[in-house]
Structure 1
Amino acid sequence: MNKRVRHIFVIPRDKNGFHKIYAYSNIFKRLFNEHYDLLAHFSVDWRGALLARLLNVGMSVSRKTARRGYFWHQSFDFLAPELDTERPMAEQDVDLLRSSNLYKKYSAPPYDLSISSKLKNKVKLWLKKHDIHLNKKLVVIHASSRWKFKEIPIGTWARIIDALILKKINVVISGSQDDFQTNALILNLCESKPVLTKDFSLEDTAALYERADLVLTIDSMSTHLASAVKTPVVSLFGPTNEKIWGPWKGKYKVIGLTSKDAEMFACRPCGQEGCEGSRISQCLVQLDPQLVIHQALLLLKKT
Structure 2
Amino acid sequence: MNKRVRHIFVIPRDKIGFNKITAYFKIFKELFNERYDLLAQFSNDWRGAFLARLLKVDVAVSRKAPRRGSFWHNSFNYLAPELDHVRPMAEQDVDLLRTANIYTKSIAPAYELHISIPQKNKVNAWLKKHDIHAKNKLVVIHASSRWKFKEIPVTSWCRIIDDLKSYKIDVVISGSLDDLKTNELIFNLCESKPFLTKDFSLIDTAVLYERADLILTIDSMSTHLASAVKTPVISIFGPTNEKNWGPWKGKYKVIGLSAKDNEMFTCRPCGQDGCEGTKVSQCLVQLDPKLVTNQALLMLKV
TM surpasses 0.5: yes
Unaligned runs of 5+ in 2: none
Number of the residue aligned with 2:290: 290
* Alpha-carbon distance, 1:116 to partner: 1.6
The answer for the alignment partner of 1:41 in structure 2 is: 41
What displacement does 1:112 show? 1.1
Q: How far, CA to CA, are the matches of 1:114 and 1:30 in structure 2?
A: 26
What SS does the corresponding residue of 1:21 show, helix, strand or coil?
A: helix
Distance 2:258 2:71 in 1: 46
Structure 1 counterpart of 2:269? 269
- C-alpha displacement of 1:262: 3.5
1:262-298 superposed Cα distances (whole Å, 9 cap, x missing partner): 4201111111111111111111001110100011111
Aligned to 2:98: 98
Provide the C-alpha distance between the structure 1 equivalents of 2:260 and 2:243, rounded to a whole number of angstroms.
21
What does 1:224-263 correspond to in 2, within 5 Å? 224-257=224-257, 261-263=261-263
Give the alignment of 1:103-114 within 5 angstroms: 103-114=103-114
CA contact (8 A) 2:223 2:246 kept: yes
Q: Does 1:84 align with 2:123?
A: no
Using the size of structure 2 for normalisation, the TM-score is 0.98
Tell me the residue number matched to 2:28.
28
- Worse-superposed segment, 3-12 or 135-144: 3-12
Q: Which amino acid in structure 2 is aligned with residue 152 of structure 1?
A: I
Q: Distance in 2 between matches of 1:14 and 1:162?
A: 40
Partner of 2:201: 201
Q: How far does residue 114 in structure 1 lie from its aligned partner after superposition?
A: 2.3
1:167 aligns with 2:167: yes
Structure 1's 124 and 67: CA in aligned 2 closer, same or farther, altered over 3 A? same
Give the letter aligned to residue 167 of structure 2: K
What does the per-residue CA deviation read over 1:84-142, in whole Å, with 9 as the maximum and x for residues that have no partner? 00000000000000000001111001111122211222111111101111100000000
Task: Provide the TM-score with structure 1 as the length reference.
Answer: 0.98
Which residue does the alignment assign to 1:51?
A: 51
**Take 1:147 and 1:15, find their aligned partners in 2: how far apart are those partners?**
23
Matched residue count: 302
Write the letter of the residue equivalent to 1:82.
E
1 CA distance for matches of 2:74 and 2:258? 46
> Are 1:210 and 2:196 an aligned pair?
no
Question: 2-side partners of 1:288 and 1:259: how far apart?
Answer: 15
In structure 1, what is the equivalent of residue 17 of structure 2?
17
| Alignment correspondent of 1:116 | 116
Report the 3-state secondary structure (helix = DSSP H, G, I; strand = E; otherwise coil) of the residue aligned with 1:253: strand
The one-letter amino acid of 1:294's match is N
* Alignment match, 1:141: 141
257-266 or 106-115: which moved more? Answer: 257-266
Partner SS state of residue 3, structure 2: coil
Q: Distance in 2 between matches of 1:74 and 1:260?
A: 45
Please give the secondary structure, in 2, of the residue aligned with 1:62. strand
Paired residue for 1:73?
73
The amino acid of 2:242's aligned partner reads: E
Say which SS state the counterpart of residue 79 (structure 2) adopts. Answer: strand
Q: Which amino acid aligns with 2:209?
A: Y
2:156 is matched with: 156
> 2:258·2:266 contact (CA, 8 Å) conserved in 1?
no
Q: Does residue 4 in structure 1 map to residue 12 in structure 2?
A: no
Q: Deviations over 1:53-106 (max 9, x none)?
A: 001111110000101010111000011000000000000000000000001111
CA drift of 1:15 comes to 1.4
Amino acid at match of 1:141: I
Distance 1:284 1:15 in 2: 36
Between the aligned partners of 2:294 and 2:24, the Cα distance in structure 1 is: 50
